[in-house]
Homo-oligomer: A and B are copies of this chain.
Amino acid sequence: MAPFRTVEWVGGTDGFLRLLDQTLLPTQVVYRDCRSVDEVCEAIRTLCVRGAPAIGVAAAFGLVLHMQQDDRASTERFFRLGCDQLGRTRPTAVNLRWALERMGRRFASAPANVDSEELRNRLLEEARAIAEEDRQMCAAIGRHGAALIADGQGVLTHCNTGALATAGTGTALAVLAAAAEQGKRLHVYADETRPLLQGARLTAWELRQLGIPVTLICDSMAAQVMQEKRVQLVIVGADRIAANGDTANKIGTYGVALLARAHGIPFYVAAPSSTFDLTLPGGEQIPIEQRDPREVSHGFGRQTAPDGVEVYNPAFDVTPHELIAGIVTEGGVIGPVHAESVRRHFQGRSSHP
């Protein structure tokens, strides 16, 4: 159990959403209370809360905040406005859309004459269920993935996929935490993950809290670390996975996958099944969010590039399924990864969109 709460609802239907402000880590641990859907949208956009599963949970609670303002004039239309507003914050993470759709089904299942207090009750219950299931999914991903890790291994990871990225113990980091709990000795190499340094600021911080040895490197050092045989496995998270297993994740992931392939190192993805978007046959259909050039040119309080320089700043890239040894989900490991093995994974699962 992490000694911090990434995303937490405080109180009852008239309560509020408390987020750990991840933009201030690792030097300050500050919680931010959101009391409106606008504040939640702002928190998602500015990456105060980030990580695909955590964004989904935050958005679900954001809808409850939204419905606190419902004036009963046109409840369904008002509910949809909140969904639309939250859905526009981050275009790539599919868990966000998945959580909003699930909240929408719960909304639709309420009787026409339900009073607004009861409606908020039902929505809060659903949001809490999403958070609780996320916790359980993290634990299951950790269990399934830990079997892939051998004692004494070096493991490289990119971005942050731990308790800060989910309502539970994380995805890729949950695998490492579970392996460490089984007594396996690990050494993690954490890519700092430019431009926003989630690896340096968040992953290094979390791993130290978990007592797992970690060495921080710049993204550009991953190839050298592999060449020196310091790592035997790579594991990362995912923001959206297409039906054939092509995986969108933090920019830089695709490069790491190519480097792992060149060094004969297996490359794994860890993500809940809700990260799959089965409506997309392949990764080329995944929309890639472009972010503010200033994240690159003006990082961390200092201008590091000339005035007016052109910057390309895609937030994600897509790793083709051929480069992925396996996808660790709460239902087991999919691998080898291709459309057929993904289809088999979802056979008979009714809970998925």
Contact = CB atoms under 8 A, between A and B. Distances in A.
B306 A204 contact: yes
A27 interface: yes
Contact of A192 (B213, B216, B296, B308): B296
Contact of A301 (B251, B252, B302, B308): B302
A108 interface: no
A126 to B, nearest CB: 36
Interface string A286-315: 000000000011011111111111111110
B224 A317 contact: yes
Interface stretch (A39-47, A73-81, A194-202, A340-348): A194-202
Q: Does more than half of chain A's interface fall in helix, strand or loop, or is it mixed?
A: mixed
B215 A312 contact: yes
A299 to B, nearest CB: 5
Nearest to A253: B220
Contact of A312 (B194, B221, B252, B307): B221
Given A219-B218, A259-B255, A224 B314 contact: yes
Q: How large is the interface on A (under 10, 10 to 19, 20 to 34, 35 or more residues)?
A: 35 or more
A302 B304 CA distance: 12
Interface string A233-266: 0000000000000000001101100110110000
A225 interface: yes
B310 A215 contact: yes
Interface in A158-202: 189, 191-195, 197, 200-201
A268 to B, nearest CB: 18
Interface of A: 26-27, 189, 191-195, 197, 200-201, 204-205, 208, 213-225, 227, 251-252, 254-255, 258-259, 261-262, 296-297, 299-314, 317
